């Protein structure tokens, strides 16, 4: 049962990361469509549920997080490919965790009659 909980929580986190990646990929596509040098009045997150109006001065490149506090400036197309690759890996992980979770659930279903039998013996 503990494994089931861990895998369920892991699956939620993976799916949230997939959604975040897809949103970022869509924003990159929108940046590519923008005309001119900069973009004014965008909402930039300050943290959870807090934003500030900002201006994007350089819209042709973004900073991509490579972990351990390392941010690398990448052209939009290259950044999108990196994010797509990461999302594909997350989707593979999601499938693997889903399969494990299904196996655990299947085993629990198989064990249920035995558990009910044991619980019935303890009552009697």
The DSSP string of 40-52 is: EEEEEEEETTEEE
Looking at residue 37, its pLDDT comes to: 75
> Each residue of 39-76: pLDDT tens digit?
888 888 898 889 999 988 888 999 999 999 999 999 99
Domain of residue 109: give its range: 2-123
* Residue 124 pLDDT grade (very low, low, confident, very high; cuts 50, 70, 90): low
Q: In the chain, how many domains are there?
A: 1
Q: Write down the pTM of the prediction.
A: 0.78
- The CATH number covering residue 89 comes to 1.10.287.370
Q: Mean pLDDT, to the nearest integer, of 28-32? A: 89
> Each residue of 62-115: pLDDT tens digit?
999 999 999 999 999 999 999 999 999 999 999 999 999 999 999 989 998 888
Two tokens, residue 96: 């693997």
Is 54 exposed, middle or buried, given 0-12, 13-18 or 19+ CB atoms closer than 10 A? middle
Contact 3, 104 (CB under 8 A): yes
Tell how far CA 91 is from the center of its chain: 9
């Amino acid at each position: 049962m503990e494994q089931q909980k861990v895998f369920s929580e892991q699956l939620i986190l993976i799916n949230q990361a997939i959604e975040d990646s897809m949103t970022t990929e869509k924003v990159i596509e929108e940046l590519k469509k923008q005309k001119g040098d900069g973009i004014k009045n965008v909402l930039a997150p300050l943290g959870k549920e807090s934003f500030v109006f900002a201006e994007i001065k350089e819209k042709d490149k973004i900073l991509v997080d490579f972990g351990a506090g390392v941010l690398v400036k990448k052209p939009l197309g290259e950044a999108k490919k990196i994010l797509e690759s990461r999302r594909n890996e997350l989707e593979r992980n999601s499938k693997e965790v889903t399969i494990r979770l299904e196996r655990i659930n299947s085993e629990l279903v198989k064990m249920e009659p035995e558990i009910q039998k044991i619980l019935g013996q303890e009552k009697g």
